[in-house]
């Protein structure tokens, strides 16, 4: 069984935290400066946001948290739902929903730096006792992490994360297939670059994403983008762990494209993107307003991409292909609870002028990020700035 330290992605290559969690909010700030009519139109979008009932979170004692201000440390859980309900039904006849993408975002005190932790969906953990979707209450039990979303939705996922990490989740956001597609189409597509053709046909009863892209650069639609980030068996090593990296590469490319197309100076495009974003996400009531997003964006004004680390929960592969968290995962959660950096600075021994050994602190080396399942053109990452 191989153990894996949480890989660190160079912040300059992955400024997606600042741009995804704050970028959408910044669009709101730009739009509201465009005049009275625009202000009225943008403010009306707040009615589109789906606020979820979070009462089940308060049935039992939750982890402590600092008083939330515009400079305090804060934690956000981002969940991607694979629900086939409604217009998502074209992606297969699969009951229920699971959180195939879960990101724990810790923004440090002062809001100038952050650590983003990807939680593998196949992590074999203890699911928290939750109010289930059928109204009954479940007892804690061992299963794959994404089962929490399946039995109790995002609230059960939040409860499970808090139980496993003892970290208080201050806000959360849920995005599904349809929301993802709509955002890409509202942007006019996203450019990706492949070193070889990618083909992942849909096979009835077996799966597949329907991905069919040539080698080289392609400006892909929302439907194609969804296939790109969902594809697993046909790209890279075929694992969900590999797919996690590809998803983050795509998000980075999407945001670079937003900037290249002048999104922030195009009122019509701003409104179009905000309209699909606010109508396609679900969150807690405290976060479900234009003002809340606006205030959050303002609080991140000093957050620099160079001070953002993207990591994966330290893991090892255990029986039946499940993912088990190593003891280093406990160190990671402890660091975030204490608002300390991760990875921890490495301690090295250097010789003093008197030739006696003394310890010195040296930052841990940053590992090179895995490109999109070994299929993304390296130069493509720098084509759109």
pLDDT above 70: residue 27:
no
Strands (E), the chain: 3-4, 50-52, 74-81, 99-107, 114-118, 124-127, 141-144, 171-175, 190-194, 198-200, 211-213, 216-220, 281-284, 308-312, 315-317, 323-325, 346-351, 357-362
- Position 114 in a domain: yes
- Position 93 in a domain: yes
188-218, pLDDT tens digit by residue?
Answer: 898 888 888 888 887 776 667 788 889 899 9
- Position 358 in a domain: yes
Instruction: Give the mean model confidence (pLDDT) for residues 267-273.
Output: 72
Biggest distance spanned by C-alpha atoms of the chain? 73
| Domains in the chain, number | 1
| DSSP summary character for residue 68 | P
pLDDT above 50: residue 362:
no
What is the helix, strand, coil percentage profile of the chain, to 5?
40, 25, 40
> For residue 281, what pLDDT band results from cuts at 50, 70 and 90?
confident
Average pLDDT along the chain: 75
* pLDDT of res. 165: 98
* pLDDT of res. 74: 97
pLDDT above 60: residue 284:
yes
Pick 350 or 283 by higher pLDDT: 283
- Position 200 in a domain: no
- Position 194 in a domain: no
- Position 176 in a domain: yes
163-193, pLDDT tens digit by residue?
Answer: 999 999 999 999 887 877 888 888 889 888 8
Across 15-29, 137-151, 177-191, 208-222, the highest mean pLDDT is recorded for: 137-151
* Structural domain for 64, as ranges: 3-186+258-368
- Position 233 in a domain: no
- Position 248 in a domain: no
* CATH code where residue 325 lies: 3.30.420.590
76-134, pLDDT tens digit by residue?
Answer: 998 987 654 444 444 444 454 556 789 899 999 999 998 989 899 899 999 999 999 88
């Amino acid at each position: 069984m191989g153990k894996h330290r949480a890989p660190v992605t160079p912040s300059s290559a992955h400024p997606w935290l600042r741009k995804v969690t704050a970028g959408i909010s910044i669009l709101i700030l730009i739009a509201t400066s465009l005049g009275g009519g625009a202000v009225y139109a943008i403010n009306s979008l707040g009615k589109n946001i789906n606020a979820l009932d979070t009462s089940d979170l308060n049935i039992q004692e939750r982890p402590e948290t600092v008083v939330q201000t515009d400079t305090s440390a804060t934690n956000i859980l981002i969940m991607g739902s694979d629900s086939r309900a409604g217009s998502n039904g074209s992606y297969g006849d699969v009951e229920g929903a699971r959180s195939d993408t879960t990101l724990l975002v810790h923004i440090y005190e002062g809001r100038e730096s952050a650590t983003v932790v990807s939680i593998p969906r196949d992590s074999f953990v203890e699911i928290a006792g939750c109010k289930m979707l059928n109204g009954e209450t479940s007892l804690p039990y061992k299963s794959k992490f994404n089962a929490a979303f399946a039995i109790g939705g995002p609230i059960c996922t939040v409860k499970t994360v808090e139980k496993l990490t003892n970290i208080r989740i201050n806000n959360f956001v849920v995005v599904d297939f349809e929301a993802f597609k709509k955002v890409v189409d509202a942007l006019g597509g996203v450019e990706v670059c492949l070193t070889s053709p990618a083909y992942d046909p849909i096979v009835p009863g077996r799966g597949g994403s329907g991905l069919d892209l040539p080698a080289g650069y392609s400006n892909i639609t929302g439907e194609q983008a969804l296939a790109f980030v969902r594809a697993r068996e046909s790209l890279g090593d075929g694992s969900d762990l590999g797919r996690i990296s590809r998803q983050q590469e795509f998000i980075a490319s999407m945001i670079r494209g937003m900037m290249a197309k002048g999104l922030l100076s195009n009122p019509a495009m701003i409104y179009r993107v905000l309209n699909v974003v606010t109508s396609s996400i679900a969150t807690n009531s405290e976060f479900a307003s234009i003002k809340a997003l606006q205030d959050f964006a303002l609080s991140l004004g000093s957050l620099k991409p160079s001070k953002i680390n993207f990591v994966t929960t330290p893991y090892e592969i255990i029986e039946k292909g499940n993912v088990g968290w190593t003891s280093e995962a406990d160190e990671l959660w402890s660091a975030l609870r204490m608002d300390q950096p991760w990875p921890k600075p490495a301690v090295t021994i250097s010789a003093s002028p008197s030739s006696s050994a003394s310890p010195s602190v040296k930052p841990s080396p940053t590992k090179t990020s895995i490109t999109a399942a070994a299929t993304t053109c390296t130069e493509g990452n720098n084509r759109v700035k």
